[in-house]
Structure 1
């Protein structure tokens, strides 16, 4: 068991493409807190923890099979002449979902939420506080549902033809939404993998990036599944998500690009969220007999407030720009049932059931 003690939440087979010379042993990193670049850090010590998935190794062993399949596919993707197949699309999307759910950052978001619940509850003994391992397991249990909710997305591989590399962070599987950032109907609405307008991002190497997108919202031209860009602004737009999503470190292969990371981190500092979720509280107020009415308050309710409501909203940062090849569909659409579930894609509404209304994606 001791040989599996150090368990990676960003696997070494994934980081290998960003290591020095692609050898898999050492990697360059930029630490955001210290604003300092470090050359040749051991990969075995990055994005890992002792028995991160538990001492029974059940999750660890299951992940090893997935990581092996990913490593084999990545070798093909990075080889000359590769054309994206349905099998490749499914495996890369599958790997994105696993990576999105498995990181320490994802687990810590669950822990922070459980702490908020515990502090609000009148009887905190009824709200068990999650530890990192419990949070990991709960997160991984969400995989089947998450996998179903991304099955309708289109997949592209972005080939970087510039001198500027893709970089990667310690929480590299990104979910973003250009639509939520610009449409007034989506103001204050949290989005997830089943939402309209989502974009999934995962750099695969300094030269290749996985991108999945809502085809009812966006249009991306491609050839054999590939999009090529020679615009450094496109690479900066995609790298912004890694800067904004990082917990502690950014990783990069070529030491000569450390100045780029240092400069960009200063520019993006104000865009990085101080917290990954926002909590809104509401307490009872006067209401007609037989009804309940609540008002939003700017403090955390206590016992004197009696029953209270808590709404947790993810804080999702917005990049400075979006890649030039990400176009809008003229006939784009979203689906809503007017509730807090937000705006969903048609395929996801069929999984949820209930009545959803089709709306144009561009507000008038």
Structure 2
């Protein structure tokens, strides 16, 4: 049995830089539902549930080990004069992936998506997925895909403005500027293997970790550091926290209290009403040796069909602006084989075993 009952899905080592005076005891919480700033909230009560990961002591130890590695790297990063070290890149990538998969918001979205596919398939509620089961699934996904973002480049952003970086109860964000804007890919779900992927994770009010596909974008960094001097660039990154979080934002200093309220009011209405949709299609009766033809239908028509398919699609919000330093790379590239796999990065095109080979294409044509 796990020795720790109160288990955090956003760890205290991560939240500490956002706490009051960085002391790790109390934090200022902005609740979006009430649009209210709650001051001096105990950190021990934030982003935690009783036995959130279950009662497997080995799993708890493995989680603590990764958190300790991240905490050690973070302590070095926030020190004045820190120079980026290549082996820290992998820890940041790994922690981002783990944090992306494991929050209550992420696991709840998985459970809700699963539930929306159960009833049309004619299965009873016994096949439903609980939040705890979704957590266990997320842990398995992490174990099976630890290298999935290891080819992305990490850049640390230093905030030299009066607007602090915000964090939240779901701080690790996946986005993709190219795929959200290009007509070939617009409207689809974003994937971890996709060309143009961008990873976002605030590390403190003054430091931000950004991972990006170097074959699609370029960032004018110096030894993996970039100083941000435009408040609009900080706000562009903070907007993702407003759009992605489940309920709460975190801010260390009350100096930004009035600005935070105005900022949230500008973007709260852009939060997606739903985080996924399920599409339904039924077999039309036309079939060849290689293909079957399906037609998109309503959920009620799908229930009556004997041969149908469902497709769950994650809704990704397009932000109102992108950071000015996120630039297109000349001679950019992605890999495509004409199938529903979509446009992916070179590492995954090389590793993936498929019948139709991938070929190189230009994202910006």
* TM-score normalised to structure 1 length: 0.95
Structure 1: how far apart are the matches of 2:205 and 2:298?
Answer: 45
Q: Which residue of 2 aligns with 1:53?
A: 53
CA drift of 1:293 comes to 2.8
Structure 1: how far apart are the matches of 2:143 and 2:135?
Answer: 15
Contact 1:19 1:28 in 2 (8 A): yes
Q: Which residue of 2 aligns with 1:347?
A: 347
1:106-143 Cα shifts (integer Å, max 9, x gaps): 11122112212211222437x72111111111111112
Q: Which residue of 2 aligns with 1:296?
A: 296
Structure 2: how far apart are the matches of 1:46 and 1:257?
Answer: 20
Contact 1:120 1:301 in 2 (8 A): no
Contact 2:280 2:302 in 1 (8 A): no
Structure 1 segments unaligned to the other structure (5+ residues): none
Aligned residue pairs, count: 362
Tell whether 2:133 aligns with 1:134: yes
Structure 2 segments unaligned to the other structure (5+ residues): none
CA drift of 1:151 comes to 1.3
Counterpart secondary structure, 2:286: coil
Q: Which residue of 1 aligns with 2:99?
A: 99
Alignment of 1:139-218 (within 5 A): 139-218=138-217
Q: Which residue of 2 aligns with 1:251?
A: 250
CA drift of 1:324 comes to 1.3
Given the superposition, is the C-alpha separation of residues 226 and 307 from structure 1 closer, same or farther in structure 2, using an over 3 Å criterion?
same
Q: Which residue of 1 aligns with 2:271?
A: 272
Q: CA RMSD in A?
A: 1.8
Given the superposition, is the C-alpha separation of residues 289 and 84 from structure 1 closer, same or farther in structure 2, using an over 3 Å criterion?
closer
Counterpart secondary structure, 1:239: helix
Contact 2:194 2:344 in 1 (8 A): yes
Structure 1: how far apart are the matches of 2:268 and 2:214?
Answer: 32
Q: Which residue of 2 aligns with 1:113?
A: 113
The equivalent position to 2:358 in structure 1, one of 336, 353, 356, is 356
Q: Which residue of 1 aligns with 2:79?
A: 79
Q: Which residue of 2 aligns with 1:287?
A: 286
Alignment of 1:62-73 (within 5 A): 62-73=62-73
- Report the more deviating stretch, 307-316 or 297-306: 297-306
Tell whether 2:216 aligns with 1:220: no
- Report the more deviating stretch, 230-239 or 185-194: 185-194
Structure 1: how far apart are the matches of 2:77 and 2:239?
Answer: 24
